[in-house]
Every structure is written in C-alpha cells, then in structure tokens.
C-alpha cells in the first residue's frame, strides 16, 4: 500500500509537470496575445509591440541563445517550483492570492452540487432499479436524460429567473446578500458565518448556494442516478444476492448489506470523474450566478489572454482532479476487500 | 432583559434606516490603481474613490472644475497652468496639493519614477496612448510637470495641445494619495490594498469576484453622498443583471442588452435609463482590396446599406444613425456641408457600381466581432442585414468572424480585413478622441489610407485654441472623411441602463461612468 501510494504520488508529479508544459504551449499558441487584449479597440500594432516588450512576452519561449535563463518557460518553471504561480498580467495580483480566495468558493459550490447530486441521484437510482420498469423507473430515467441534455447556462438562467425573480424564493445570483459581511476563516461562506456566530448570514449564504448548486449538480445527478440504477441491477442479478434472498433475509437487509455496498463501486468512480466535470461545469455556472470562484476567474482570463492566470488555474484544477482520483482509487480498497494495492 | 430588547430594537431601527445603494457592475474591477487600467468597471469604481484634476459637468462632456478650480493655457497652447482647490484632503488625512498632483502625473508619465513600480509590471499605457508617449519620448506631448507653488501646477508641452485638460479629466486619471501609494507599494490597487483618493466615497473592502464596498466621505469638498454605503457587485451576465434588478437585490445597473428594454418598461418597479451616446459603431473598408480602393465602390456600398432600418431593427430605439464619426453630443464639430445621414438608394448605388466597372458586382469578406459591444450589441444579425442590403446591388458578402483577441490583432496585420465592423467609445469630450483614434498617424493601419492633409488637420485640431477654431478644423475633417467613405458610421448607440423606481438623482454620463454621490434611495425597502 505504501509503495503504491509513493508510485501514485510520483506519477501525479510527472502528470503535473506535463500539464504545466502543455498549458504553457497551448495558451501561447492561441492567437491574440495579452497586449492586444489589454489594449482592446485602441490597439495599434506599435502600442501592442511596446506593451508586449514591457510584459516580457517578446522573449523566446524555451531557449534564449543570448542568455539561456532569460526565456519564458525556464523562468516560469523555476518560479513554479518555488511555489510562485506568477502574477496576473492585467491585475498585478499574484495568482496564488487569487487562488486562495477563489478556490474555497468553487469548492463550496462543488461540494453543495455533489451533495445535491448524491442525495437525490442515488436514492432515485436505487428506487428505479428495485422497481424496474415501473412508473418510478421510467420517471427517473426520463428525468435523468433531460438532466444530462440540459445546457448548464440555460438551466441556470431558468432557475434564476423562476425561483429568483418570478417566485422570489431565493436570491437570483451572487454568494451573499449585500447586507452581510463575513470575515473569512476557511473561505467557505456558510461555514465561516457559523464559526463567527452570524446565524442570519449563514442562512443567507446557504440560500445563495441553492440555485447554483442545483444548476451545477444536475448533470452529475443524472449520471449518478443512471450509474446507480444499472449497477444495482447488475448486482441484484448476481448469485450471492439470490443466495441471500434464498436464505430468507429481508429485502431491506439484502439491499443494504449485500447489494448497495457492491453497487457503490462504479458510483464512486463516477464521483471521482465528476470532480473534473464539476470544475468544467463551474465555468458556466459561476459566470451565470456571479459566483466568485475559479471557473469565472479563468474564463475571464482566457478572454483576456492572461497567461499566468490561465496557467495557474489549469495547473491547480489538474491537481484537484488528480487528488480526487487518488482518493477514489484508495476508497476502492475500503469498499471492496478484494481490491488490494501493493 | 428589557435592556436587551431595547438594544435589539434600536439595532433593528438603525439597520432599517441604513441606506445601502447597490450597483450591478458588469464584471470585476481589474485594479483600483488609477492611471493603469482602462476597463469600464474599474473606472466606475475609481470614479467614486478618486477625483480628477478636471471634471465633466454631470451628464455632459463639457469640462467642469475638479481638484483644479481653474486652468489656463499660454498663448500658443504649449503650457497649461492648473490652480488647485484649497483645503482638500485625501481619505487618509494627507493634504491634496501641488506635490500630490506632480507625484501622480509623474508616476504615469516618467518611466523612471521611483513609485511607478514598472519593474513589477505596471505599464500606465493609457498615458502613453492619449498623450503621445512618456517622459523623454520624441512623440510625447508632455515635456515637463512643474510645481509652481503649493496650489499651482504647470504642465509644459513639447507641442501645442488644446485637449490636455480634457484628457486629464478622463476617468483614468484619478488623483491618489502619495502617502498611501508609498505605504502600500506595488500592491497598491489590488484587493489586498486600500486605495485612497479625495472622492465622495471611501474604500472599505473588496471581496474578489463578488463586490467592492464603499462608505461615504463625510468630509467631501463637493456634494456629499446621500447613502450610508455603496456596494458595487460583480454581475457579469447581462440577463442576470436584469434578473437582479427585477428581484430588487440591486438598485441600478449599466449595460443591459437592447432587447431587455421592453422587459424593463413592462416592470412598474423599474425605470429605463438611456445613457447619452458617446460611441460610434462603423464599418471600415480596406484600401488594399482591389474593389474597395475605388472610391465609387465605397460610396456605392455606403448608399446601399439601409442604416436607418438596421438601427431601428437592432437597437430598439436605443441608437441613432447619422453621417458623422463623432457622437451627437459633439454636433458642433460637424460640417453643415455633409448631409445629416447617408442617402439610402439601392438603384443609384447599383448604377454607381456599374460606372465603377462592376455591373455584375463582386464578392467580398465582411468581418463581424464575436462579442457584444456597446456600439454593436448583436454583431452577427447586424452583419447579416448589411450583407442582405449589399447583395441587392450585386455585392456578394462572405460573413466571417473569429475570436475577439485575434480579431483585434488580425485587422492590423497585412492585408487586414476587406470590410469589418468595429467601434469606439470615447473617454474624453473632444472630437480628437474619435478622429485621432481612427485616422492619422496614431491610428490603426487597418484601412491603408493616411493622407497628409488628414494628419495636418488632426494636428491643427489638437493645437486649436478656441472651440470655434476647433470646429472649423473638424468640419473639414468631417467633409474629407465623409467623401472618402473608408469608414461608414452606422450608429451612435445609447447604452441601456435601468434603476429601481426609488433611485433618484442619477445623472448618467455619456462617458460611461459617473460619481454616485448625487443618488438617493428614499423609500427603498
């Protein structure tokens, strides 16, 4: 187990290095550079060239024959290895500082979305499997199909308009009402408000979470429901389940003790994969719901060609996905004793 | 227990009377350091915190006193003297005086200024763009910045300029406290710092990606703010800003899409606000193209586009079409010899095209931007309408687009685009801000047309001492550029804003942002 963990960690480091190289080349290969984006309609070729020089973007990418260390990638990597992700070109804010405030917002939203997806998706999947071909099954299958096919931005706007404007039940967007201020501890609004004893702010922050979490969680919900259903059906057909039933165990016990635990394995895999999908979905959800997370931040940076922010955001997101996958792999062993790592 | 109840009651009362004004901004400020950034929302927040040396009259582009109470040029417009307002203090208590002005202007203009932080990525590019360059540059307008005495600053110029006060009145150039900049160092202007100006609001906090909170400046020299708190929220999505307005979670907002006008007008709690137009959306034609280098072809194209119908269809009454490159608030700069708008006459256009040698027309690329801009809110359908009009005279149009950053780059790369849509929102109230940006030596090289007489007139415009003299120069420029027909102005649009009905006293500036100290929210629930 120990050596497996070390090998996995080493592989993660290699993957991260590879990603840093790929994203470095990719962002610079997209046409249109930060100087032009910063100058906008005002950009004349001369002004853009001057700004490019001032920003150091005229330097070679990998190797400068005149001065080997004075190239963009070596400089970036040497700073990165010291934990310095660079500074946003337009804002002059260190990328690390932005990540520190942005990541908790994305994490809070993703956790809420995943909870929403699990709490509804798993029972729906189980119910559909147990009552196969019933009305419930058809309903769950149809709804999950709609959920998968619904564009996130459209669903987001729809939710916001219906529940935020028409019914007025929930705030249409943003992370917190303007009447509240929460001094950050963890960066999670709800948690911080509770820790500071601001009950009304915590309630308000929780209410703000609902709509974006539903928008972000709908696709994972649909996927989890489908996987749970098919996985449950698979396991229900296994010999040991039939044996358990034959032994005269109650339906409840068969479902909970024998089926569910085994049926959960693929679901856990999907949850791990969804960590990446959640970060991707967060781009649209955060933009629509004015959510101050990583998604909206990187989205803005891409349109501005703000290289350090795009690089930092992508590398960080890759790290999160790697860690999530590692946790999934490790949790396999916990769920299924047959799986052993050595 | 009684005491507790009383305290609770009092706090509820004070909460109820605390008037918070909430603005829905179209994004996140990039930086609150003045002089270093030009995006709309950064400037909007900066305008609340900082005053500029010279200001604009509310709702107009005419100059008004700011931190300078008066300003005067020498006889040939090569030196400007500014007399400063006495007794004004920055929010940190330090005095606003000639030293502070010289410090601020100096760090933007002097590349070796010790507090310019250029080694840490500061560029102050807007100073170079608007005033020809930086200290020591051959093209720079400013030669020297001199403190005459505590309340007088003189700016010496390398070449005559009548627009210097207008440029310094642009929202980019808010005057900041030198003490604060020295104290915060290179992190000045970031969310981790405290920007300090003399303006009507004092910076309180900035939660990245979410909001900036400001408090009223009780010692403000001008109109004091009439609310207890000003919150500027980051709501990037235009339809979401409308949602928030309808839900009452924000009080007012800018940059709604033109198609939301009906929705705003249909809501009794909302008032639609048309911001005065200070932009131009136009179609540029490239002299490198074999057809477009023919003047008759360009004029035929101008005549074939039904501008008025297009503006009616796509701007919902939030725009006007005319034959001028400058927006209507600067009508004084137009020539009476130029018609109010281009004639729409497809038959005459077709004949003109035949005269030019193309009776069967030809085929050409028209590029439209992939993003919504204030001057072209829905570029693609507008481009389709233009294409339809041109096909009526036999010109086959291929519509093209690409990513915005690449679009801005490619239009300036040879051979550029055949025809393309672009536009411009002004930043200070002078025709030079429009003509100078797209014609002459400082303009982009997208149409390959830069005759000497245009450049001469632009120089004369910048040097003209009086508005009358200026008007004469720009009237000539108007005639020349109209006849040449390289850039066809399509529209001057009114960006749509809206407010909850209890928001009173908001005077939107044509320049895109204004201080909010005049606004009241009496009756807000």
| Interface ipTM | 0.87
Residue A141 confidence (pLDDT) = 86
Measured distance CA(B523)–CA(A158) in Å, rounded = 30
Token representation of residue B307: 């501008």
Q: Integer distance in angstroms from the first to the last C-alpha of chain A? A: 5
Chain centre distance of CA B467: 21
Question: Which residues of chain B make contact with A176, given a CB cutoff of 8 A?
Answer: 210
- Which residue, among B31, B125, B206, would best test binding to A if mutated, counting the most A CBs under 10 Å from its CB? B125
Which pair of structure tokens corresponds to residue B25? Answer: 């901004």
Cross-chain Cβ contact B38/A40 below 8 Å:
yes
Least Cα distance to A126 among A7, A285, A232 occurs for: A232
In whole angstroms, give the CA distance from residue B163 to residue B145. 16
| Tokens matching residue B184 | 């915060």
Which tokens go with B117? Answer: 């932080």
Give the closest-approach CA distance of A171 to chain B in angstroms: 8
Give the C-alpha separation, B159 to B153, whole Å: 18
Helix (H) or strand (E) holding A250: none
Task: Tell me how far apart the alpha carbons of residues B184 and B182 are, in angstroms, rounded to a whole number.
Answer: 6
Instruction: Name every chain B residue with its beta carbon within 8 A of the beta carbon of A204.
Output: none
Q: With contacts defined as CB-CB under 8 Å, which chain B residues touch A41?
A: 408, 422-424
Q: Cα separation of A163 and A312, whole Å? A: 35
How far is B491 from B375, CA to CA, in rounded Å?
Answer: 7
User: Whats the size of chain A, residue-wise?
Assistant: 342
Is residue B272 within 8 Å of B265, Cβ to Cβ? Answer: yes
A27 close to A305: Cβ distance less than 8 angstroms: yes
Nearest residue of A to residue B244, measured between CA atoms: A172
The answer to whether A171 faces chain B, any CB pair under 8 Å, is: yes
Total residue length of chain B: 525
Cβ contacts (< 8 Å) between A313 and chain B: which residues? none
- Among B182, B200, B106, smallest CA distance to B144 is for B106
Tokens of A186: 């963890």
Chain A residues touching residue B205 (CB < 8 angstroms): 181
User: Which ranges constitute the DSSP H helices of B173-284?
Assistant: 178-184, 238-247, 261-265
Nearest-Cα distance to chain B for A31, in Å, is: 5
At residue B413, the 3 state secondary structure works out as coil
Instruction: Decide: B315 and B374 in contact? Cβ < 8 Å.
Output: no
With left for phi above 0 and alpha for psi between -120 and 50, is residue B216 left, alpha or beta?
A: beta
3-class DSSP state of A1: coil
CB contact under 8 A, A172 and B122: no
**What is the pLDDT tens value at each position of chain A, 342 positions in all?**
678 888 888 988 899 999 999 999 999 988 888 888 888 888 888 888 888 888 888 888 888 888 877 889 988 888 988 989 999 988 888 999 999 999 999 999 999 999 999 999 989 998 898 888 888 888 888 888 888 888 888 999 999 999 999 999 999 999 999 999 999 899 999 999 999 999 999 999 999 999 999 999 999 999 999 899 988 888 888 888 788 778 877 777 777 777 777 778 888 888 877 777 787 788 889 999 999 999 889 988 988 899 999 999 999 988 888 888 888 888 777 777 777 765
Is the minimum CB–CB distance between A43 and chain B shorter than 8 Å? yes
**CB-based contacts of B322, cutoff 8 Å, min separation 6:** B328, B340, B341, B489, B492
Distances (CA, A) of A13 to A18, A41, A56, A103, A146: 9, 41, 28, 21, 39
User: From the list A30, A44, A174, which residue is nearest B443 (CB)?
Assistant: A44
Closest residue to A290, CB basis, from B236, B407, B413: B236
Task: Give me the residues paired with residue B63 across strands.
Answer: B56
Q: Return d(Cα A292, Cα A296) in angstroms, integer.
A: 7
pLDDT given for residue B10 in this prediction: 44
Distance from CA of A12 to the nearest CA of B (A): 30
Element (H, E) at B10: helix B2-17
Smallest CA–CA distance from B239 into chain A, residue: A157
Residue in chain A nearest B186 by alpha carbon? A92
A40 close contact with B: CB closer than 8 A? yes
A279: nearest Cα among A208, A210, A220: A220
Looking at residue A1, its pLDDT comes to: 64
Phi, psi of A165 (to 5 degrees): -100, -55
What is the Cα–Cα distance from B63 to A139, expressed in whole angstroms?
66
Tell me the nearest-neighbour CA distance from B236 into chain A, angstroms: 6
Query: CA A278, CA A147: separation in Å to the nearest integer?
Result: 14
CA-wise closest residue to A56 among A74, A41, A40: A74
A86 close to B (CB below 8 A)? no
Minimum-distance CB partner of B409 among A32, A93, A293 = A32
What per-residue confidence (pLDDT) applies to A129?
87
**Can you tell me the distance from the alpha carbon of B190 to that of B206, in angstroms, rounded to the nearest whole number?**
9
The DSSP symbol for A164 reads I
Select from A31, A57, A172, A283 the residue whose CB has the most chain B CBs within 10 Å, as the one to mutate to test that interface.
Answer: A172
Residues B473 and B456: their CA atoms lie apart, in Å, by: 10
Contact predicate B123/B112, CB 8 Å: no
Question: Closest approach of chain A CAs to the CA of B435, in angstroms?
Answer: 12
User: Closest partner residue to A47 among B38, B129, B233, by Cβ?
Assistant: B129
Q: Closest by alpha carbon to B470, among B170, B166, B169, B173? A: B166
Report residue A334 as tokens.
């916990």
Render each residue's pLDDT in chain B as its tens digit; 525 residues: 445 444 444 444 444 457 999 999 999 999 999 999 988 999 999 999 999 999 999 999 999 999 999 999 999 899 999 999 999 999 999 999 999 999 999 999 999 999 999 988 888 989 988 998 999 999 999 999 999 999 999 999 999 999 999 999 999 999 999 999 999 999 999 999 999 999 999 999 999 999 999 999 999 999 999 999 999 999 999 999 999 999 999 999 999 998 899 999 999 999 999 999 999 999 999 999 999 999 999 999 999 999 999 999 999 889 999 999 999 999 999 999 999 999 999 999 999 999 999 999 999 999 999 988 889 989 999 999 999 999 999 999 999 999 888 899 899 988 999 999 999 999 998 999 999 999 998 888 899 999 999 999 999 999 998 889 999 999 999 999 999 999 999 999 999 999 999 999 999 999 999 999 999 999 887
Task: Tell me the three state secondary structure of residue B23.
Answer: strand
- The pTM score is 0.90
- Distance between CA atoms of A188 and A103, rounded to whole angstroms? 9
CA-to-CA distance for A152 and A278, rounded, in angstroms? Answer: 11
- Which residues of chain A neighbour B246 with C-beta distances below 8 Å? 165
Judge: B424–A41 Cβ closer than 8 Å, yes or no. yes
Q: Do B264 and B270 form a contact (C-beta atoms < 8 A)?
A: yes
Q: Do A168 and B247 touch (CB under 8 A)?
A: yes
| DSSP state, residue B85 | P
For every residue of A183-195, DSSP letters joined together read: --SSS-HHHHHHH
Residue A259: DSSP 8-state: I
B423: helix, strand or coil: strand
Q: With CB atoms and an 8 Å threshold, state whether B237 touches A165.
A: no
Residues of A in contact with B237 (CB under 8 A): 157, 173, 287-288, 290
Q: Rounded to the nearest 5 degrees, what angle is found at the Cα of A199, between the Cα atoms of A194 and A201?
A: 90
Helix (H), strand (E) at residue B492:
strand B487-493
Rounded to whole angstroms, the Cα distance separating B260 from B272 reads: 10
In chain A, % helix, strand, coil (3-state, to 5) comes to 75, 0, 25
Find the Cα–Cα–Cα–Cα dihedral A127, A132, A136, A142, rounded to 10°: 110
CB-based contact A173 B244, cutoff 8 Å: yes
Q: Is A116 on the interface with B (CB under 8 A)?
A: no
> Do residues B499 and B271 make contact, with C-beta atoms less than 8 angstroms apart?
yes
Contact (Cβ atoms closer than 8 angstroms) between residue A87 and residue A71: no
Q: How far is CA B454 from CA A147, B23, B286, B411, B438, in A?
A: 60, 42, 17, 21, 11
Alpha helix stretches (DSSP H) within B92-174 = 98-109, 125-130, 164-169
HSE-CB for B126 with a 13 A CA cutoff: 23
Q: For residue B2, what is the enclosing H or E element?
A: helix B2-17
Contact B243 A160 (CB under 8 A): yes
Helices within A237-293 (DSSP H only): 239-246, 251-253, 261-288
């Amino acid at each position: 187990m120990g050596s497996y963990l070390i090998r996995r960690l080493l592989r993660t480091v290699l993957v991260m290095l590879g990603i840093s190289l790929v994203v470095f080349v990719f962002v610079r290969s997209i046409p249109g550079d930060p100087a032009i984006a910063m100058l906008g309609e005002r950009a004349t070729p001369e002004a853009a060239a001057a700004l490019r020089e001032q920003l150091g973007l005229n330097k070679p990418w990998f190797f400068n024959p005149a001065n080997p260390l004075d190239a963009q990638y070596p400089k970036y990597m040497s700073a990165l290895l010291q934990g310095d992700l660079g500074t946003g070109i337009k804002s002059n804010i260190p990328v690390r500082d932005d990540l520190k405030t942005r990541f908790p917002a994305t994490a809070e939203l993703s956790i809420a979305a995943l909870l929403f997806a699990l709490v509804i998706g798993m029972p729906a999947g189980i119910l559909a499997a147990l009552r196969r071909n019933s009305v419930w099954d058809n309903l769950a299958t149809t709804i999950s199909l709609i959920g998968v096919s619904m564009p996130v931005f459209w669903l987001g706007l729809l939710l916001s308009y219906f529940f935020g404007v028409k019914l007025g039940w929930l705030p249409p967007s943003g992370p917190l009402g303007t009447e509240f201020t929460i001094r950050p501890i963890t960066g999670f609004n709800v948690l911080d408000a509770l820790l500071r004893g601001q009950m009304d702010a915590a309630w308000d922050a929780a209410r703000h979470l609902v709509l974006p979490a539903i928008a972000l969680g709908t696709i994972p919900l649909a996927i989890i429901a489908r996987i749970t259903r098919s996985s449950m059906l698979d396991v229900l057909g296994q010999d040991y389940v039939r044996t358990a039933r034959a032994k005269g165990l109650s339906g409840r016990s068969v479902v909970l003790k024998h089926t569910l635990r085994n049926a959960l394995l693929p679901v856990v895999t999907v949850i791990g994969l969804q960590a990446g999908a959640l970060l991707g979905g967060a781009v649209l959800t955060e933009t629509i719901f004015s959510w101050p997370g990583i998604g909206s931040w990187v989205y803005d940076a891409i349109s501005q060609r703000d290289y350090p922010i795009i690089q930092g955001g992508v590398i960080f997101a890759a790290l999160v996905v790697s860690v999530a996958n590692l946790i999934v792999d490790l949790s396999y062993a916990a769920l299924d004793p047959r799986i052993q790592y050595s | 227990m009684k005491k507790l109840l009383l305290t609770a009651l009092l706090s509820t009362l004070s909460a109820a009377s605390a008037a918070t004004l909430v603005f829905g901004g179209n994004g996140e400020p990039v930086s609150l350091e003045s002089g270093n950034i030009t995006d709309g929302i950064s400037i909007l927040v900066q305008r609340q915190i900082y005053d500029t040396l010279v200001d604009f009259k509310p709702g107009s582009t005419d100059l008004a006193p700011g931190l300078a109470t008066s300003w005067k040029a020498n006889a040939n417009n090569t030196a400007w003297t500014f007399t400063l307002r006495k007794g004004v203090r920055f929010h940190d208590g330090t005095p606003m005086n000639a030293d502070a002005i010289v410090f601020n202007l100096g760090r933007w203009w002097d590349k070796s200024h010790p507090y310019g932080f250029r080694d840490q990525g500061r560029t102050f590019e807007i100073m170079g763009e608007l005033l020809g360059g930086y200290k020591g540059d051959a093209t720079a307008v400013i030669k020297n910045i001199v403190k005459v005495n505590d309340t007088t600053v003189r700016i010496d110029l390398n070449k005559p300029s009548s627009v210097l006060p207008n440029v310094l009145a642009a929202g980019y150039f808010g005057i900041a406290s030198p003490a604060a900049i020295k104290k915060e160092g290179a992190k000045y202007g970031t969310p981790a710092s405290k920007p300090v100006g003399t303006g009507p609001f004092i910076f309180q906090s900035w939660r990245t990606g979410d909001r900036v909170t400001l408090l009223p400046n009780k010692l403000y020299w001008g109109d004091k703010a009439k609310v207890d708190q000003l919150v500027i929220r980051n709501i990037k999505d235009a339809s979401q800003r409308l949602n928030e307005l309808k839900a009452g979670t924000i009080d007012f907002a800018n940059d709604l899409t033109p198609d939301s006008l009906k929705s705003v007008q249909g809501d009794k709690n909302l008032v639609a606000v048309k911001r005065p137009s200070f932009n131009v959306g136009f179609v540029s034609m490239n002299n490198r193209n074999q057809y477009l280098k023919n003047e008759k072809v360009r004029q035929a194209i101008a005549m074939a586009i039904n501008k008025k119908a297009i503006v009616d269809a796509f701007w919902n009454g939030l725009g006007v079409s005319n034959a001028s490159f400058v927006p209507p608030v600067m009508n004084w700069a137009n020539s009476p010899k130029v018609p109010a708008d281009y004639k729409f006459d497809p038959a005459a256009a077709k004949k003109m095209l035949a005269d030019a040698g193309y009776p069967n027309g030809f085929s050409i690329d028209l590029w439209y931007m992939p993003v919504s801009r204030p001057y072209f809110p829905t570029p693609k359908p507008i481009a389709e309408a233009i294409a339809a009009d041109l096909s009526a005279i036999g010109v086959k149009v291929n519509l093209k687009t690409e990513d915005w950053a690449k679009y801005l780059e490619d239009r300036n790369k040879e051979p550029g685009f055949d025809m393309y849509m672009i536009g411009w929102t002004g930043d200070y109230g002078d025709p030079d801000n429009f003509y100078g940006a797209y014609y002459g030596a400082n303009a982009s090289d997208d149409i390959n047309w830069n005759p000497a007489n245009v450049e001469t007139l632009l120089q004369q415009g910048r040097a003209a001492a009086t508005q009358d003299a200026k008007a004469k120069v720009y009237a000539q420029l108007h005639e020349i550029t109209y006849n040449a027909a390289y850039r066809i102005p399509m529209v001057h649009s009114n960006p749509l804003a809206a407010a909850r009905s209890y928001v009173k006293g908001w005077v939107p500036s044509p320049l895109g942002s204004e201080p909010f100290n005049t606004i009241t929210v009496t009756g807000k629930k």
